[in-house]
Structure 1
Amino acid sequence: AGMKWKAGQTFFVHMHAIQLNPKHWPEPEKFDPDRFMKNSIEKNSFIPFGGGVRMCPGRHLGELGIKTLMASVFRKFDVSLVDPDAPLHKGYGRAYSGISMFAYDTAWLAMIPNKAYKESAVTDESMTSI
């Protein structure tokens, strides 16, 4: 296409742009976890761990860790925003090494121990009577 690069030039795929492409993700800035439940996700439109032969080797461990953490937190706590009316700022901070990004702002959460979990939890006392 008439463009030239130096030999050995390094390129990065703009992952952020791919993940927010409205062609693949209607209303990409909207929080919609249900979009991942559909079987209609186009191949290579969600690639948080890269792709191809250089895909992150720790991807399965990373996914398992996040799922385990989230399941444990939501099983044991009722989670809500401290201030539901506080504005949530969009945007991301600078990338480290051109790869990792972080959110500009934080959302403060209240985590209240879940009463149902506390009542059903196994106690040390019940374990010794087995």
Structure 2
Amino acid sequence: MNILLIEDDMIETMKLQRTVSKMKQKHPIVEAKNGEEALDILRSDQELPDVILLDLNMPRMSGIEFLKILKADERLKYLPTVILTTSENRADLLECYKVGIAGYVIKPLKYEEYESKLQKVLEYWNINELVKA
């Protein structure tokens, strides 16, 4: 399962990579530091990811702005996008589901809890039937 991680915080990126490296199944990760970079990757000739993990609070383009562009694109709109955020803002949560996300995961402070949540998310998407755009 190919993953596109859109995250501007290097520590969060390292946490995700560390978590994925411990899993039985290996998942290639392509990284983007912001929504603009992610759109460039998605619109390139590279293979599309099976799932997108998206932070909400990023420079240049917020996660919600990125989502709106993604879901308006006929080729990209079916890519499952899971929000990974520290935001417990209910307005963010509702807006993300309104736009069309596949999940909303609040990053816990403890690494063990983060690892457990992320492994469950990836295990779910690994067994789910994914649409290849």
TM-score by length of 1: 0.24
**Which protein is bigger by CA-based radius of gyration?**
1
Greater helix fraction, Structure 1 or Structure 2 = 2
Greater strand fraction, Structure 1 or Structure 2 = 2
Q: More relative contact order in 1 or in 2 (CA 8 Å, sep 6+)?
A: 2
TM-score by length of 2: 0.24
